[in-house]
Amino acid sequence: MKDEFNVNLADSQATVVTPIEAEKFDIEGYAAYAGELDEICNRFWTADSGVLVYRRMRVKEVFAEDCCDTKKSLEWQLGALQQSMKFKADIPNFLEPWYGLGTVAAAYGFGYLWEKGQAPAVDGKFASTAELLEAPYKPVAETEIGKHTLDMVSYFLDKTKGRIPMSYCDVQSPLNTLSNIIDSNQFYMDFYLDAEAMRKAMDRTADLLIDFTRAQQQLIGDALVKPGHGFASSRRFDGLGMSDDTITMLSADLYMEQAVPAMAKVGDAFGGTVFHSCGNWSDKKADIVSIPRIRMADGAFSKGTDPGANPTEGYADTFAGTGVVLNARIVGAPDLVETKVKELWKPGMKLIVVTYSETPEEQEYIYHKIHEICR
């Protein structure tokens, strides 16, 4: 049972697909397929426990330089949707207007740096949290990055007649956004030396994030799936997905006291908080399930997914009986996935297993095996 990170891959969770032009994509066929799976999602979401399987179709080009080309991004994603229908699953894949990690950071005046073959990087930093609070800012929708993102949404809707499920863009979180635009050394010191400024910055950033997410919500309309971005998502789910990867750099007390209130404020505006962090956040899992109105938490549970993956120990006991969904990403062969699911599952849990099977036959096998384990 091999479990190791492949350093030769540009994206360990990506699937190779063939792009499809919008005019050649079977819109109604996919809409019907997604509608059928949404009913499965609805039964899971309203139940006290259960398991769903999601075969994620992540395309590396969409999360790299091709995100700047709206037509290419859509064609890559339509190719992924077409391919996803061959893999047995309970949750449909969806379109995402992904345009980098700096969407909310743009409100503070930052643009992007583009390197060939890479995702865009936020261009610039404040020297301190206090400097950020003194700087001008404006609504994300008035920035170039915000305008481009909303244009992507409109283009995707137009080309798919509003019939294909679509998520919000990658909004990150107040914590992640600030960590990207404040000098790293000073950022972590400010949690201790200027806690009031940090709280104000978190709250302001939360408001900016809420306003732009509402703009997307209104634009996407009935096609909207939640919680969005890298999470298993459905029209029948709720909450807003946010990436709080910086949690791994903070103590539990600092995180809960200074970062969570802003995150929960955002979540409250959209049906609840949905948490993601890369790396190992297992030491804070009990804190995560205690976040007000937390709906789902996402983590990597194999080294093939993330070299700093979470250990499986303790997650079943922590999540069982809480109603909080654990979205477990597991890159690996069927025997590895089977072992991880056995370690993660406990009656009373709500578990989504995210698979990356290489063939439809492999996916068919592990799909049934997961449901057998989690009866």
Question: Using one digit for the tens of pLDDT, what is the confidence trace for 190-233?
Answer: 999 999 999 999 999 999 999 999 999 999 999 999 999 999 99
- Given 3.50.7.10, 3.40.50.300, 3.30.1490.20, 3.20.20.210, which CATH number is that of 22-373? 3.20.20.210
How much of the chain, in percent, has pLDDT values that exceed 70? 100
Residue 37: count other Cβ atoms within 10 Å of its Cβ. Answer: 20
Q: Where are the domains of the chain?
A: 22-373
pTM for the predicted model, two decimal places: 0.97
Question: Using one digit for the tens of pLDDT, what is the confidence trace for 279-335?
Answer: 999 999 999 999 999 999 999 999 999 999 999 999 999 999 999 999 999 999 999
As a whole number of Å, the end-to-end CA separation of the chain is: 24
CA gap 60, 205 in Å, rounded: 29
DSSP 182: B
What pLDDT does 158 receive?
Answer: 98
Above 90 in pLDDT, residue 74?
A: yes
CA gap 5, 168 in Å, rounded: 29
Give the 3-state secondary structure of residue 112.
strand
CA gap 158, 163 in Å, rounded: 9
Above 90 in pLDDT, residue 31?
A: yes
| Residue 351, strand partner residues | 51, 326
What pLDDT does 6 receive?
Answer: 87
User: Rounded mean pLDDT of the chain?
Assistant: 97
Band (pLDDT 50/70/90 cuts) for residue 184 is very high
CA gap 217, 219 in Å, rounded: 5
CA gap 165, 233 in Å, rounded: 9
| Residue 111, strand partner residues | 123
Above 80 in pLDDT, residue 1?
A: no
What pLDDT does 10 receive?
Answer: 85
Pairing of strands 121-123, 111-113: antiparallel
Question: Using one digit for the tens of pLDDT, what is the confidence trace for 86-115?
Answer: 999 999 999 999 999 999 999 999 999 999
What pLDDT does 109 receive?
Answer: 97
Laid out side by side, the sheet with 294-300 consists of 50-55, 350-355, 325-329, 294-300, 273-276, 240-243
Contacts of 156 (CB under 8 A, 6+ apart): 70, 74, 95, 97, 164, 166
CA gap 57, 100 in Å, rounded: 18
Picking from 2-11, 46-55, 170-179, which range would have the lowest pLDDT averaged per residue?
Answer: 2-11
Band (pLDDT 50/70/90 cuts) for residue 7 is confident
DSSP assignment of 265-329 equals HHHHTTTSEEEE-SS--GGGHHHHHTSTTEEEEEEE-STTT-TTPPP-TTHHHHHTTT-PEEEEE
Going by C-alpha positions, the residue among 60, 76, 81, 79 that lies closest to residue 15 is 60
Band (pLDDT 50/70/90 cuts) for residue 185 is very high
